[in-house]
Amino acid sequence: MMRLVSLFARSRRAAVAPMMGVCIFVLVLISGGAVEYSNYYRARDTLQRTADAAALTAARHFHENRDEAAARALVEKILVAGETARYQIDLPVELKLEYNEEYHSTSAAIRVRATAPTAFMRLTGVDDLTTKVESFALKGGAKDIYVYLLLDVTGSMQGLIDVASAAMVDFEAQLRVRLEREGIEMGRLFVKAGYFRDLRTDLSSPAWEESPAYDMSDAAQRMLLRDHIRARQATGGGDTPESSTAAVAHALTAPLETPVGGAPLSRHMIQVIGLWTHVEGLPLGFEDIAAYQAAGGSAMNPKVDDITVPLYKALLANGQLAAFQATLRNRDLPRAEDDHYDSATIEYGCCRNMEQLRTEWLSRGAVKLANRYLALFVDQTHYPWREMSRWEHVMGMQYMASSPDAFIDGVVRAVVESGVSLRVNPPPAGGSPWGGS
What's the count of helices (H) and strands (E) in the chain, helices before strands?
Answer: 14, 11
Q: Pick the more confident residue, 163 or 265.
A: 163
Grouping H, G, I as helix, E, B as strand and the rest as coil, residue 85 is coil
- Quote the radius of gyration of the chain (alpha carbons, Å): 35
Sign, CA torsion 314/317/321/323: negative
Is pLDDT of 279 > 80?
A: yes
- The set of residues, in sequence order, having a beta carbon less than 8 Å from that of 435 and lying 6+ positions away, is none
Instruction: Tell which residue, 194, 47, 103, has the closest CA to residue 429.
Output: 103
Length of the chain: 437
Q: Pick the more confident residue, 84 or 259.
A: 259
CATH architecture of 144-418: 3-Layer(aba) Sandwich (3.40)
At 56-106, the pLDDT tens digits run 899 888 887 889 999 999 988 888 887 665 778 888 889 999 888 777 788
Judging by beta carbons within 10 Å of its beta carbon (0-12, 13-18, 19+), is residue 416 exposed, middle or buried? middle
Is pLDDT of 173 > 70?
A: yes
Strands 128-140 and 105-117, bridge-based pairing: antiparallel
Report, as an integer, the average pLDDT of 161-179: 95
Q: What ranges do the domains of the chain cover? A: 20-140, 144-418
C-alpha to C-alpha distances, 180 to 173, 321, 412, nearest whole angstrom: 11, 47, 10
For residue 212, say if its preceding peptide bond is cis, omega within 30 degrees of 0. no
- The set of residues, in sequence order, having a beta carbon less than 8 Å from that of 392 and lying 6+ positions away, is 361, 362, 369
pLDDT band at 369, cuts 50/70/90? very high
Q: Pick the more confident residue, 225 or 40.
A: 225
Neighbours of 290 (CB within 10 A): 10
pLDDT band at 308, cuts 50/70/90? confident
